[in-house]
Amino acid sequence: MDLKLITPQYGKLGFADVDSILTIEERVYAYPWTRGNFTDSFSSGYEAFGFRDTELDLFAYFVVMPILDELHLLNFAVDLPYQGQGYAKLLMDKLFTYTSEHAHSSILLEVRRSNARAISVYEGAGFASIGVRKGYYPAHDGQREDAIVMRRIVDANV
């Protein structure tokens, strides 16, 4: 099946989706979020949205936390078989629409310094590096890895 032919279904995610989210999370991240991270996010009122394929299986998602007029992108993932086919851009477009609809003026995120693919996606979507958080992420052998802090100002007309 050519994944490029899939017209994904987009919708809000919640507690019932945690198992599907974790399956993707554990495939795409060396240090995935835990079940508790996601359930705590939902309990705190943070929102998550994602794409489902023709079989209604979740394959991409994002989690956001509003902070006054800014939106913090906490988690963003596209499952491995769907990567490199434009779904990250489609999901990013949905994020920008959500941001504009909720009158947020910017989006902030952190990304591992070593995650070149994600950095490329974010830069391609108009995010710019605004700083570094030293030792922000856990890394192998008890080490820590820096996070690049990125921000995108959102056009209200998106």
Tell me which residues are annotated as active site. 110, 122
CB 106 within 8 A of CB 70: yes
Q: Where are the beta strands (DSSP E) in 36-105?
A: 47-52, 58-67, 70-78
Spatial distance between the Cα atoms of 54 and 69, rounded to a whole number of angstroms: 35
Q: ∠ CA 116-91-16 to the nearest 5 degrees?
A: 110
CB 14 within 8 A of CB 66: no
